[in-house]
Homo-oligomer: A and B are copies of this chain.
């Protein structure tokens, strides 16, 4: 049974850690995240779980004995000035699902592990999906030496939490897990727009991040005729519009230029240098999207006589989630009265690391008004309880 009152209390107690008004600041590998793990671990231990923290600061709580476990959970960290639901709701729904199954007092066909992944957001060290990457052996080499703005490394941060400072030691074998289930608020408006409380994720998009630098010539804005200019901002403007046009034409792509800066940056000087970011995502034909945009960047720079260089910062492949698990989750969601669409996740999730490591993985999205990564993100108690019930049904089918 989903206990709405308990779920509401848990949300409130967890939000108090790092909370200020509606805003929550609970960065990955911080003391606040650690306090959140201690709180949640206590609840799970009280229900009889064997609770442990691994060398990457992930929290695992295991019920049942031998064999491949059904893993479920999400993360407890937030972005700076984030909200109460991103990540947290997935961990608390996992607790409700487990409580619901234990209430049945039926023997477990498979063990269950509830997980709270450490530092999913990567807000402090710039390494997103950190804890799940460590557990599934997908950390980039040398990542423990990445530092925050104060020069503190991931290894240092882990040591100050009582770990040895080597997140690679957290590695587990994919065959330890029969499946991974994650519930998360939707980070866009599709469920809200469609008037649906829940959705099931079919794929997680591929993501390409790059920084483009254009070099032209800084000239006096009054004394340089239009035809004699090598204006990098005008070039960048064409590229921004190319990103938009190509993403619109792509079957399901999105493209964003979110950062831009010009030098020297004076109102009466033609910008001689311009640097901007490109973020390209798609669940299908992601490579095409990236290739088309880069070709346009090159063409526009060439036409305008600008030098361009593209630094690739990240490229994450498209992750199709497990079709069998998706069908199971759709039935579970239908059982609670929602005719769920299959949605593509436009944001990255720890579920990627599980799926890409070979663990059959599925995700449920819960409607959020107000988006995510903001104090305005909001999942109603009705929707949250509905999501937890669907997760419980899926868990019962997999583990009981």
The closest CB in chain B to the CB of A249 belongs to B226
A68 in the interface (beta carbon within 8 A): no
Judge if A228 is at the interface, Cβ distance under 8 Å: yes
Q: Is the CB of A187 closer than 8 A to any CB of chain B?
A: yes
Write the A191-213 contact mask toward B (1 if CB under 8 angstroms, else 0): 00100000000000101010000
The answer on a CB contact under 8 Å between B254 and A258 is no
Q: State A266–B374 Cα separation when bound (angstroms).
A: 13
Query: Is A143 among interface residues, defined by CB-CB distance under 8 A?
Result: no
Bound CA–CA A236/B237 (angstroms)? 8
Distance in angstroms between the alpha carbons of A254 and B259 in the assembled complex: 27
State how many angstroms separate the Cβ of A301 from the closest Cβ of chain B: 15
When chains A and B are docked, how far (Å) is the Cα of A280 from the Cα of B205? 43
Complex contacts, A46 vs chain B, CB 8 Å: none
- The reply on A381 being an interface residue by CB < 8 A is no
Q: For chain A, residues 177 to 235, give those with C-beta under 8 angstroms from any C-beta of chain B.
A: 186-190, 193, 205, 207, 209, 219-228, 231, 233-234
Measured between alpha carbons, how far is A237 from B237 in the docked complex, in Å? 4
Interface mask (A238-280 → B, CB under 8 Å = 1, otherwise 0): 1011001001100001111111111001111111000001010
Are B222's CB and A347's CB within 8 A? yes
* Residue pair B258, A260 in contact (C-beta under 8 Å): no
- Provide the residues of chain B in CB contact with A223, threshold 8 Å: 186-190, 345-347, 371-372
In the complex, the chain B residue whose C-beta lies closest to that of A225 is: B254
For A231, the chain B residues whose CB sits under 8 A away are 244, 256
Residues of B contacting A238 in the complex (Cβ-Cβ under 8 angstroms): 237, 241
Assuming the contacts A234-B240, A241-B234, A281-B222, asked whether A262 and B258 have C-beta atoms less than 8 A apart, the reply is yes
State whether A220 and B347 are in contact (beta carbons under 8 Å apart), knowing that A241-B234, A258-B265, A260-B233 are contacts in the complex: yes
Return the contact of A260 from the options B225, B260, B313 (Cβ within 8 A): B260
Q: Does A305 contact B (CB under 8 A)?
A: no
Query: Is A373 on the interface with B (CB-CB < 8 A)?
Result: yes
The smallest C-beta distance from A292 to any residue of chain B, in angstroms, reads 14
Q: Do the beta carbons of A269 and B258 come within 8 Å of each other?
A: yes
A348 at interface (Cβ–Cβ under 8 A)? yes
| Among B205, B248, B257, B266, contact of A222 (Cβ-Cβ < 8 Å) | B205
Size class of the contact patch on chain A: 35 or more
List residues 10-63 of chain A with CB under 8 A from any CB of chain B: none
Within 8 A of B (CB), among A277-294: 277, 279, 281
Q: Are B262 and A268 in contact (CB under 8 A)?
A: no
Instruction: Write the nearest CB–CB distance from A77 to chain B, whole angstroms.
Output: 16
Give min CB distance, A254 to chain B, whole Å: 6
Q: Are B254 and A348 within 8 A (Cβ)?
A: no
Residue in B closest to A187 when the chains form the complex, CB atoms: B223
Residues of B within 8 A of A227 (CB): 248
Q: Which residue of B lies closest to A247 (CB)?
A: B226
Given contacts A189-B228, A209-B267, A222 and B259 within 8 Å (CB-CB):
no
How far does the Cβ of A89 sit from chain B's closest Cβ, in whole Å? 16
CB-based contact B254/A373 at 8 Å? no
Q: A237-B241, A241-B241 are in contact. List 17 more A-B contacts (CB 8 A).
A: A186-B223, A187-B223, A188-B228, A189-B228, A205-B222, A209-B267, A209-B268, A220-B346, A220-B373, A223-B345, A223-B371, A231-B244, A236-B237, A237-B240, A256-B268, A256-B270, A258-B265
A–B pairs, 22, beta carbons within 8 Å: A187-B223, A188-B224, A193-B228, A220-B347, A221-B256, A221-B281, A222-B279, A222-B281, A224-B346, A226-B253, A227-B248, A233-B257, A233-B260, A234-B257, A237-B237, A241-B241, A256-B268, A258-B269, A259-B262, A259-B265, A261-B261, A267-B313
Q: Which residues from chain A sit less than 8 Å from chain B, CB to CB? A: 186-190, 193, 205, 207, 209, 219-228, 231, 233-234, 236-238, 240-241, 244, 247-248, 253-262, 265-271, 277, 279, 281, 313, 345-348, 371-373
